[in-house]
Structure 1
């Protein structure tokens, strides 16, 4: 279903489509994070990725709760945006031989994912409120806060040591 598909006629349809998009993305992220954990060499980066894997699994559970509350089936629609972000990350990681530079590349890739997620969750929170669904909005806000926190941790890690080591 494309963005301007006949299947999207109302704001509610758009909300559900976006839920299914981020549901696909979160499931894809759960599959790709273990590869990033394996490739990371910085212990803090590995730990942050591992912690975020657990969080991401909880994001999926929360999305399933939003689907349930909203009375629609929890299912995915393909998200070409996250596919592209993850494909690019895997391609770049495969090309970097220097482990310090690889860690910097992994942080950048993870932040691209986080920024995508933040835009999606921010939009979903706003739409849930507009649709009179404060119950759904409050669940989505928890995930949005965790995505922002993950991005902040990555920025601090990059600026305090990962990028410095990569530049040496």
Structure 2
């Protein structure tokens, strides 16, 4: 089913479809993070990715809560965007021999993931409010807040030395 398929007729349908998209994405991220953690050599990066793994588990739980509140089945729909970001991460990580460069690449990949998630959550929050679902928006805002914080932590790690070491 494409984003603008005939199955999407209303804003509510679009909301649920996008909820399924981010649910799929979060679950794919859960699968990808342990490999990123294993490849990271910088202690701060490794610790930050590990912490975000725990947050991502909570994001999935919150999304399941939103599905339930909205009366929809918690299920994912294939998301080529997140699949592409993860595939690119795996390709780049497999090509870099320099561990310091690998850490910088992992940060860049992590930020690509965070930015994708932030766009999805921002859209879902706006649509939830438009649909009169402030309850759903409030839960989604918790995920968005954590995604923004994770992005800021990655930026700080990069700027505090990982990028300079890679250079």
TM-score range, shorter chain: over 0.9
In the TM superposition, residue 48 of structure 1 has moved relative to its aligned partner by 0.2
Give the match's secondary structure for 2:6.
coil
How far is the alpha carbon of 1:56 from its aligned partner? 0.1
- Partner of residue 102, structure 1: 102
Q: Distance in 2 between matches of 1:148 and 1:50?
A: 16
1:114 and 1:67 map into 2 onto residues whose CA distance is 22
Q: Which residue of 1 aligns with 2:87?
A: 87
SS at match of 1:13: helix
Are 2:162 and 1:162 equivalent residues in the alignment? yes
For residue 8 of structure 2, what is the aligned residue in structure 1?
Answer: 8
Q: Which runs of 5+ in 1 are unaligned?
A: none
- The structure 1 segments of at least 4 consecutive aligned residues displaced by more than 6 Å after TM superposition are none
Measured against aligned partners, the alpha-carbon deviations of 1:33-54 in whole angstroms (never above 9, x if no partner) come to: 0000000000000000000000
1:147 paired residue number: 147
Deviation per residue, 1:59-111 (Å, 9 max, x gap): 00000000000001000100000000000011000000000000000000000
Give the drift of 1:3: 1.2
TM-score scaled by length of structure 2: 1.00
Instruction: Name stretches of at least 5 consecutive residues in structure 2 with no aligned partner.
Output: none
- 1:138 paired with 2:138, answer yes
Whole-angstrom CA distance in 2 between matches of 1:17 and 1:131 = 14
Once superposed, what is the RMSD of the aligned Cα atoms? 0.3
